[in-house]
A and B are shown apart, each in its own frame.
Chain A
Amino acid sequence: MASAPQTAIRPTPAAWTILPRNAGPLALGLGLALILHFWVQPASGAFKTKVLLDIGINIILAVSLTLVNGFTGQFSIGHAGFMALGGYIAGAITYYGSFRLFGDAGFQGGILSWTTSQGSFVGPILGAGDLLFLVACIGGGLVAALAGYLVGLPSLRLRGDYLAIVTLGFGEIVRVILQSSRPQLYLAAEITSTSWPRLFTQLGGALGFILLPSYTTLFWVYFFVALTLVVTYRIKRSSYGRAFLSIREDEVAAEAMGVPTTRFKVRAFVLAAFFAGVAGSLFAHSIGGINAGELGFQKSFDVVIMVVLGGMGSISGSTLAAIILTILPEALRTVTTWANQYLPTEYALPDLRMIIYSLALILMMILRPQGLFGLHEIWDLWRRRGRAPSRPL
């Protein structure tokens, strides 16, 4: 054993350097969102724009679930529950809030919330409605995070399959509660005379919560995508993230190293739930409504598949998987139409695309059981093979 050479302890950077460390990612995220909004969206039709919106929302869902299923090694299959909860809460804030503030649920946003297919726009960059929408997104996220805390606290003592069942149950409970909420109110007079706590129970029940003002544009979606990516990436490359990863690797050893494993599991859950809630808010305001019936366990499974396919713990991997798995079913529509014109009508396969989609998933899992990138990020592939990612902080 050699005597310990003293590595020079580097000095703590000056406080003002916090600005460039955050201005860069912020500018990049805003820039991407602005380009998509002002250049890509007008050039794409309504359908392509919708697919791009779905991709962004799915990226937020998949990357946030990576915190729980990828980093911390827990198996949650109730992510759609948090999404639905966030979506409904945000919807209630914008819908009823608009009535209270503006007199009706009409669009009160600025140009960042305006889709060109709605016509040309004259107005401010940010409207009062946008601020309401932002409050709603954060509010939806926070309520979902609270639900994540309440679910996480008792259930994270459970492991593996048992935890999976609890999260599945949670998602279904959320769905059933939302679907059995009271009827939506449509009249301004009724809404203004009803108290806020009561308004949060009038979410449209089985009919879904509809007529929400459409604020979600590519700008907002990709702004939150950038936020989600930066936050999760910074967590991964820090003590915080290593605490999550140590739990996944070996819980007993993590405890022995002083990691409060239960606390960190709950934290992973809360963080993931927050972003799922934001994704739900964006979803609810993209098509002017939200129906919990569409956000059952099927949606949760879709997100889990993205995480598993991307590689457990790979942020760029789950991002890529979210992109591929959102485009694939849409792209396969063309294949279905093409194939069906050669099939006799009585043997037509209207759902051929889902068969191909499932086969593609099976194939990918057989060929790469560790997911596309494992724990690695895409850019790690350019580093030396056989070596794990390492990046000086």
Chain B
Amino acid sequence: MPALLDIAGISIAFGGLKAVQDFSLALAPGDLQGLIGPNGAGKTTVFNLLTGVYRSTTGTVRLEGRRLDGLKPHQIARAGVARTFQASRLFGDLTVLDNVRIGCQLRTPFRLLATVLRTSRQVGSERHIRDRSETLLTTFGLAGRRNDLARNLPYGDRRRLEMARALATDPKVLLLDEPAAGMNAQEKTALRELIRAVRGQFGVTILLIEHDMGVVMDICERITVLDYGVTIAVGPPAEIQRDPKVIEAYLGTS
């Protein structure tokens, strides 16, 4: 199957530190892949490169053949790559509903004059945005909290809201940055189900950064391991677990 997202040899250095070197990865439609590595290996930097927060100095990123590298973050979001953030970056002083609405409105055009005059089309698209947002909130079990401020949500709800907000932009590829961070065992189990269900229901292709090996090994079909910005292993979970280089990267040499 041809790759949906084709990452070919991207790199970035901060001063002398080569944070990511020659990183390549291909996601086929419907894939659920994992990106792991010790702290500071450059995983989040890869996400920042993919979403245009940083600009890669080498290589290309293609979504369905279209070049994404060099585009601004909002253009990449429009092209169909959405992400969540490691540290929650919700719009804290806005309501849960508004957080999702901001994601939804990417696919619904709005203009200043139409907004000020409240034209029929404008009222219609605002309704559409609201209805879609409500549906998403129901799907993620957040409907009862729609009017709460995002910063007042408990931790688990925040992570789900991050995901709902990213999915609201109607992406083709979803990048999840440590969705299980800070969760207890029970929440982690629920999260696995949620990620699987998201893939099934929204038809998105997922790339996942995760520290929790249980989660990664369970749900990912293929895993890429980074260490000091370099890809040291690629393969299915069972292979990765046995890979001596991976074990060395995590546990150190004896």
0/1 interface trace, chain A 156-173, chain B, CB 8 Å (1 if under): 000000000000000000
Bound-state CA distance A10–B139 (Å) is 19
0/1 interface trace, chain A 342-353, chain B, CB 8 Å (1 if under): 000000000000
B118 touches A256 (CB 8 A): no
A390 touches B97 (CB 8 A): yes
0/1 interface trace, chain B 123-151, chain A, CB 8 Å (1 if under): 11111111110111011110000111100
A250 touches B74 (CB 8 A): no
A243: B residues at CB distance < 8 A: 102, 105
A1 touches B194 (CB 8 A): yes
- Also in contact, A390 and B122, with CB within 8 A (given A1-B194, A253-B90): no
B120: A residues at CB distance < 8 A: 12-15, 17-18
- Also in contact, A387 and B115, with CB within 8 A (given A4-B139, A238-B110, A249-B91): no
Which of B2-10, B75-83, B244-252 is near enough to bind chain A? Answer: B75-83
Contact of B130 among A1, A271, A392 (CB under 8 A): A392
Shortest Cβ distance from B119 into A: residue: A18
- The smallest C-beta distance from B76 to any residue of chain A, in angstroms, reads 8
- Also in contact, A239 and B121, with CB within 8 A (given A387-B147, A388-B148): no
0/1 interface trace, chain A 120-132, chain B, CB 8 Å (1 if under): 0000000000000
A4 touches B95 (CB 8 A): no
- Also in contact, A1 and B169, with CB within 8 A (given A12-B124, A375-B93): no
A242 touches B77 (CB 8 A): no
A250: B residues at CB distance < 8 A: 89-92
B74 touches A239 (CB 8 A): no
- Decide if A366 is an interface residue (CB 8 Å cutoff): no
B179: A residues at CB distance < 8 A: none
B169 touches A235 (CB 8 A): no
- Decide if B178 is an interface residue (CB 8 Å cutoff): no
0/1 interface trace, chain A 198-214, chain B, CB 8 Å (1 if under): 00000000000000000
B91 touches A245 (CB 8 A): yes
B135: A residues at CB distance < 8 A: 4-7
A257: B residues at CB distance < 8 A: 74, 77, 82, 102-103, 106, 165, 168-169
- Decide if B17 is an interface residue (CB 8 Å cutoff): no
B231: A residues at CB distance < 8 A: none
- The smallest C-beta distance from A307 to any residue of chain B, in angstroms, reads 16
0/1 interface trace, chain B 48-64, chain A, CB 8 Å (1 if under): 00011100000000000
- The smallest C-beta distance from A376 to any residue of chain B, in angstroms, reads 10
B115: A residues at CB distance < 8 A: 234-235, 238-240
A252: B residues at CB distance < 8 A: 53, 73, 85, 89
Bound-state CA distance A133–B198 (Å) is 59
- The smallest C-beta distance from B200 to any residue of chain A, in angstroms, reads 10
A259: B residues at CB distance < 8 A: 74, 102, 106
| Size class of the contact patch on chain A | 35 or more
| Size class of the contact patch on chain B | 35 or more
Shortest Cβ distance from A250 into B: residue: B89
Shortest Cβ distance from A267 into B: residue: B112
- Decide if A255 is an interface residue (CB 8 Å cutoff): yes
Shortest Cβ distance from B95 into A: residue: A388
B126 touches A238 (CB 8 A): yes
A2 touches B141 (CB 8 A): yes
- Also in contact, A242 and B102, with CB within 8 A (given A7-B134, A252-B53, A255-B77): yes
Interface centre among A8, A13, A230, A389 (most CB of B within 10 A): A13
- Decide if B201 is an interface residue (CB 8 Å cutoff): yes
Bound-state CA distance A389–B147 (Å) is 7
B124 touches A13 (CB 8 A): yes
Interface centre among A6, A14, A18 (most CB of B within 10 A): A18
- Also in contact, A7 and B131, with CB within 8 A (given A18-B118, A257-B103): yes
B94: A residues at CB distance < 8 A: 242, 245-246, 249, 388
Shortest Cβ distance from A241 into B: residue: B115
Bound-state CA distance A255–B51 (Å) is 9
A118: B residues at CB distance < 8 A: none
B83: A residues at CB distance < 8 A: 256
Contact of B129 among A234, A239, A260, A388 (CB under 8 A): A239
For residues 349 through 393 of chain A, which have their beta carbon under 8 Å from a beta carbon of chain B?
A: 375, 386-390, 392-393
Bound-state CA distance A12–B129 (Å) is 12
B122: A residues at CB distance < 8 A: 238
- Decide if A9 is an interface residue (CB 8 Å cutoff): yes
0/1 interface trace, chain A 1-45, chain B, CB 8 Å (1 if under): 111111111111111011001100000000000000000000000
- The smallest C-beta distance from A382 to any residue of chain B, in angstroms, reads 14
- Decide if A46 is an interface residue (CB 8 Å cutoff): no
B138: A residues at CB distance < 8 A: 2, 4-5, 7
- Decide if B218 is an interface residue (CB 8 Å cutoff): no
Contact of B131 among A8, A240, A249, A261 (CB under 8 A): A8
- The smallest C-beta distance from A373 to any residue of chain B, in angstroms, reads 13
Contact of B118 among A3, A234, A249, A267 (CB under 8 A): A234
A1 touches B124 (CB 8 A): no
- Also in contact, A249 and B93, with CB within 8 A (given A238-B126, A240-B112): yes
Bound-state CA distance A392–B134 (Å) is 12
Contact of A393 among B77, B91, B123, B146 (CB under 8 A): B123
Shortest Cβ distance from A238 into B: residue: B115
- The smallest C-beta distance from A100 to any residue of chain B, in angstroms, reads 32
- Decide if A231 is an interface residue (CB 8 Å cutoff): yes
A interface residues, Cβ below 8 angstroms from B: 1-15, 17-18, 21-22, 230-231, 234-235, 238-240, 242-243, 245-246, 249-250, 252-261, 267, 271, 375, 386-390, 392-393
Would you list 6 pairs from A and B whose C-beta atoms are within 8 A, ordered by A residue? A3-B201, A7-B135, A231-B116, A235-B115, A239-B129, A252-B73
Minimum-distance CB pairs A-B, first 5: A12-B124, A249-B91, A258-B106, A258-B77, A255-B73
Q: Besides A240-B115, A390-B95, 14 other CB < 8 A contacts? A: A10-B131, A17-B120, A231-B116, A235-B115, A245-B98, A246-B102, A252-B53, A253-B85, A254-B102, A255-B72, A256-B51, A258-B74, A388-B148, A390-B97
